[in-house]
Amino acid sequence: MVHPYADAEVHGSSAVDIASLIAGVEQDVEAISALLPRYGRLIPRYTSYPPATRFNAQVNAAKEAEWLRALPGGEALSLYFHVPFCDELCSFCACNTAVVRRVESRLAYGELLLDEVDRVHGLTGAEHPITHLHWGGGTPTSLPMAAMRRVMERIRERFPLADDAEISIELDPRHLPEDVPPQLHEMGFNRVSFGVQDLEEDVQEACGRRQTEELTAECIRAVRAAGIQAINIDLIYGLPRQTAESVARTAARVAAWQPERLAVFGYAHVPWKQKRQRLIDESTLPQVRERLVQRQTIDAVLKRDGYQVVGLDHYVLPSDSMAEAVRQGTLRRNFQGYTVDKAKVLVGMGASAISSYPQGLTQNAPSAAMYKNAMKARPQSRPVLHGLERVGDDSVRARVIDKLMCLLEVDLDEEAPGHAFPELDRQIGQYVDDGLLVLGPGSQGGGNRHLKVTELGRAFVRNIASLFDEYLPAPGSAPAHSSAL
Ligand SMILES: C[S@@+](CC[C@H](N)C(=O)[O-])C[C@H]1O[C@@H](n2cnc3c(N)ncnc32)[C@H](O)[C@@H]1O
Ligand code: SF4
């Protein structure tokens, strides 16, 4: 069935509407700007705690094998497959990806993934239902379809796939041949995520990514017609040549397609890490205040058009499973961002993939070449490069940080019963005085044990979460993280 909104016209977003929306966000922008000198420091994104900057070589494949073998029978698993290839590169992109022209090399990568599924199965046994499965990258469909099909079949041969599993994949609309959506549906995919970033031609040109609005609309139509009804779209603010007006137009046009979820990221300009970003003309990058106006403008447009804000940077239709996860208090955060995945164990396969266990985290060898070497060098073992083990009260802090990042509130009586956070008591007053947090009694009556992030505080939720981060480097030390906004 074609989605009822597939042909919807762009909602009423005349120049007058847009001007009044932008005027409406001015007050919020002023309030956030005033706090930037105090809170604008570099902070982790808290897709894990402790953060990935703590990875070390003491946690290796042997340690991870212990964790996998120790899984209780029947424990659900979430699987992630990383494909570090793209069909075409974009100058703005910070991901570690490459175009691999030789089909033999891409097929060989698919074979390694098959092998890795077998190795995981060898360590866990078969009795673990897969409740969540995601392919990311790069662009996973740059693998030949036959290779992806073989991996999906192998997963089903080795593990039971839960009937209600979310099975999702990231797609590049510029490279989606028309026979692919029906094949993805056949393989069991029920959610896709499209990179869009911005719909305006001059912004696209400045970012090195040409993708017409018609092309994206056609891809959405094709995916829905193939029977995959859940659509995610990525947008970015802070890109070269973007203005508040231009991002408002993009947000309104994208909202008219009614994707179930939208992720709205701030552009990370890191040319010292990602050389292709040197193609970006820095004089066309919006400055801090302009970025803030853009962020708040997109927020206002998406809320106006029926989206519910989730956490730091997601917008969802109230009917989407992520809105339900917020209502139920079960939303979580992992290396792919916000997720409805409830499994306690996420096993990442492929180059650079990160796995998460109650005991700690591991990461596979980072590049395709190193991944291949690690797979060949140790034939029975997982290609783990490094990781971290949770120690002391890491798990308690991880739970508290997760609740704050996902639900913007936490009851310390519930998540950290009997646990004191002396460093928190020293700093929290400032956050309350600045209007970022409201304190109340915890569910067991503990004074000031309930923390609720205010609407103003949402922009600084990473700072608030960092109050519980024992490993946060002192202000002014070498930057390992990105700026809070
Ligand atoms: C793996 S890609 C998405 C799928 C597919 N490769 C595509 O581009 O359509 C991951 C997403 O990361 C985000 N991203 C990449 N580079 C970024 C940057 N420098 N700053 C912020 N977000 C970025 C983009 O929104 C992009 O859609
Ligand atoms: S945005 Fe997507 S297609 Fe472009 S380089 Fe990054 S991962 Fe590849």
Burial classification of residue 380, based on how many CB atoms lie within 10 Å of its CB (0-12 exposed, 13-18 middle, 19 or more buried): exposed
Q: Is the pLDDT of residue 477 over 70?
A: no
Q: Which tokens hold the place of 26?
A: 């001015």
**Environment class of 30 (CB within 10 Å of its CB; exposed 0-12, middle 13-18, buried 19+):** exposed
- Cα of 170 vs centre of ligand 1, distance in Å, is 10
> What's the mean pLDDT in 237-264?
97
- Region of 462 (left: φ > 0; alpha: ψ -120 to 50; beta: rest) is alpha
The residues, any chain, with a CB within 8 Å of residue 433's CB and separated by 6 or more, are: none
pLDDT band at 260 (very low <50, low <70, confident <90, very high): very high
Give the mutation target among 176, 231, 236 for probing the ligand 1 site: most ligand atoms within 8 A of CB. Answer: 236
Of 384, 259, 274, nearest in space to 314 by CA: 259
Q: Give the mean pLDDT of the chain.
A: 93
C-alpha 95 to ligand 2 mean position (Å):
7
Rounded to 10 deg, the angle between the 103-124 and 368-377 helix axes is 50
Does 166 sit in the ligand 1 pocket, CB within 6 Å? no
- What does the pLDDT read at residue 330? 95
Residue 483, pLDDT score:
56
The percent of residues above 70 in pLDDT, for the chain, comes to 95
| Integer Cα distance of 16 and 58 in angstroms | 59
* Ligand 2 geometric centre to CA of 20 (Å): 34
Whole-structure pTM value: 0.94
Q: Which ligand is nearest to the CA of 267?
A: 1
The domain at 52-387 falls in which architecture? Alpha-Beta Horseshoe (3.80)
Name the binding residues for [4Fe-4S] cluster: 86, 90, 93
Q: Residue 375 corresponds to which tokens in the numbers above?
A: 């797979």
Q: Which residue has the higher pLDDT, 215 or 477?
A: 215
For residue 36, the Cα-to-chain-centroid distance in whole angstroms is 24
Find the mean pLDDT for residues 443-451. Answer: 89
Atom 11 of ligand 1: nearest residue by CA position: 195
Quickly state the pLDDT bin for 190 (edges 50, 70, 90).
very high
With tokens 């900057």, the residue in question is: 53
User: What is residue 473's predicted lDDT score, i.e. its pLDDT?
Assistant: 81
Enumerate the domain spans of the chain: 52-387, 391-467
Q: Are 354 and 55 in contact (CB under 8 A)?
A: no
14: exposed, middle or buried (C-beta count within 10 Å: 0-12, 13-18, 19+)? exposed
CB-based burial label for 2 (10 Å; 0-12, 13-18, 19+): exposed
Domain 391-467: which CATH number of 3.10.580.10, 3.40.50.10680, 1.10.10.10, 1.10.10.920: 1.10.10.920
User: At 264, is the pLDDT very low, low, confident or very high (cuts 50, 70, 90)?
Assistant: very high
CA gyration radius, the chain: 22
Residue 30 and residue 36: Cα distance in Å, rounded?
10
The 10s digit of each residue's pLDDT in 369-409 is 999 999 999 998 999 999 999 999 999 999 999 999 999 99
Residue 77 sits at φ, ψ, to 5 deg, of -120, 150
The residues, ordered by sequence, that sit 6+ positions from 224 with a Cβ below 8 Å of its Cβ are 1, 2, 3, 6, 231
Intrachain domains 52-387 and 391-467 with the same fold: no
Cα three-residue angle 243-245-251, rounded to 5 degrees: 100
- Among the atoms of ligand 1, which is closest to the Cα of residue 274? 19
What's the half-sphere exposure (Cβ side, CA atoms, 13 Å) at 111?
Answer: 9
The CB density around residue 114, as the number of other CB atoms within 10 Å, is 16
Is residue 94 lining ligand 2, measured as CB closer than 6 Å? Answer: no
What pLDDT band is residue 42 in, cutting at 50, 70 and 90? Answer: confident
- Mean pLDDT calculated for residue range 8-21: 68
Residue 311 in this model has a pLDDT that exceeds 60? yes
- To which H or E segment does residue 167 belong? strand 161-171
Q: What pLDDT does 10 receive?
A: 45
- Per-residue pLDDT, averaged over 207-218, amounts to 97
| pLDDT tops 50 at residue 1 | no
pLDDT of residue 4: 35
Residue 251 has pLDDT above 70, yes or no: yes
Question: What is the C-alpha to C-alpha distance for residues 469 and 397, in angstroms, rounded to an integer?
Answer: 7
What does the pLDDT read at residue 2?
33
Query: For residue 446, what is the enclosing H or E element?
Result: none
CB atoms within 10 A of CB 81: 25
